[in-house]
């Protein structure tokens, strides 16, 4: 009887722990003082606009080339996982439209939000309402930052976006925002989405130049 009550208590503690962790992530000091990503003001000393634009994109590249983003922007139709970007386990093919193969859509495992795995707060299944693999023309893995830069500016390869729409996507899109709220057991992308959006805006305002 006593042991049973204890077990139930432990369960409750584990559960509230998981909730505290996921809500704590959004409000963590990290979001106020974004670590690991320089603000736009750090680049004002670069007088030449093209050089400044390139430097701004290199900084934004710390996010773009982070595994949280790259894992969903592979060059074949297989998502990758973790910091080492290993092939998705269980083996997964994204299908033509990126939502999974018939009978096994991404959303059968990935839900609208991150879900603690087995009720603990150590691991989680990542989630977002739009969870799907990026289309093949938006593949980033195996490409240089300069190549990624050229392709995200190109409406033929970025889903028909103008630069303003591209900025909006980077700064506001909920699925992009998942990169800073990746769930227990995953390192967030550097900085926060606000600072990342500001870097992209400043990059566009200085001519959207690509690094070599």
Q: What are the residues binding ligand HEC (CB under 6 A)?
A: 63-64, 67-69, 71-73, 79, 81-82, 88, 90, 92, 94, 98, 100, 104, 106, 108-110, 125-126, 131-135, 138, 152, 158-159, 169-170, 175-176, 178-179, 186, 189
| Distance of alpha carbon 23 from alpha carbon 15, whole angstroms | 13
| Distance of alpha carbon 173 from alpha carbon 161, whole angstroms | 13
Q: Is the CB of 39 or the CB of 161 nearer to ligand HEC?
A: 161
Q: Is the CB of 52 or the CB of 179 nearer to ligand HEC?
A: 179
Q: How far is the CB of 179 from ligand HEC (least distance, A)?
A: 3
Q: Which residues contact 32 (CB under 8 A, 6 or more apart)?
A: none
| Distance of alpha carbon 207 from alpha carbon 55, whole angstroms | 12
Q: How far is the CB of 9 from ligand HEC (least distance, A)?
A: 28
Please say whether the beta carbons of 172 and 17 come within 8 A: no
Q: How far is the CB of 59 from ligand HEC (least distance, A)?
A: 13
Please say whether the beta carbons of 141 and 73 come within 8 A: yes
- State the distance between the two ends of the chain, measured CA to CA, in whole angstroms: 68
Q: Is the CB of 39 or the CB of 185 nearer to ligand HEC?
A: 185
Q: Is the CB of 132 or the CB of 202 nearer to ligand HEC?
A: 132
Q: Is the CB of 46 or the CB of 168 nearer to ligand HEC?
A: 168
Q: How far is the CB of 205 from ligand HEC (least distance, A)?
A: 17
Q: Is the CB of 48 or the CB of 174 nearer to ligand HEC?
A: 174
Residue 32 vs residues 134, 193, 194: alpha-carbon distances, Å: 29, 11, 10
Q: How far is the CB of 6 from ligand HEC (least distance, A)?
A: 30
Instruction: Give the dihedral sign, CA 50/55/56/57.
Output: positive
Q: How far is the CB of 55 from ligand HEC (least distance, A)?
A: 18
Cα angle 52, 55, 58; round to 5: 155
| Distance of alpha carbon 125 from alpha carbon 117, whole angstroms | 6
């Amino acid at each position: 009887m006593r042991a049973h009550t204890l077990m139930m208590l432990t369960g409750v503690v584990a559960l509230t722990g998981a909730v505290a962790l996921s809500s704590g992530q959004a409000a963590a000091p990290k979001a106020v003082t974004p670590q690991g990503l320089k603000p736009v003001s750090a680049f004002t000393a670069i007088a030449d606009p093209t050089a400044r634009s390139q430097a701004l994109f290199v900084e934004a590249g710390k996010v773009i080339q982070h595994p949280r983003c790259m894992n969903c922007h592979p060059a074949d139709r297989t998502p990758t996982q973790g910091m080492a970007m290993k092939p998705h386990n269980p083996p997964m093919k994204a299908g033509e439209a990126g939502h999974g193969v018939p009978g096994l859509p991404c959303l059968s495992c990935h839900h609208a939000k991150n879900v603690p795995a087995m009720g603990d707060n150590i691991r989680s299944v990542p989630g977002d309402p739009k969870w799907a693999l990026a289309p093949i023309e938006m593949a980033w893995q195996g490409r240089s930052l300069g190549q990624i830069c050229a392709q995200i500016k190109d409406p033929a390869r970025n889903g028909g976006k103008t630069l303003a729409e591209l900025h909006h996507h980077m700064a506001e899109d909920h699925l992009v925002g998942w990169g800073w709220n990746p769930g227990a057991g995953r390192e967030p992308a550097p900085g926060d989405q606000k600072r990342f959006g500001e870097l992209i805006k400043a990059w566009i305002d200085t001519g959207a130049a690509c690094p070599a």
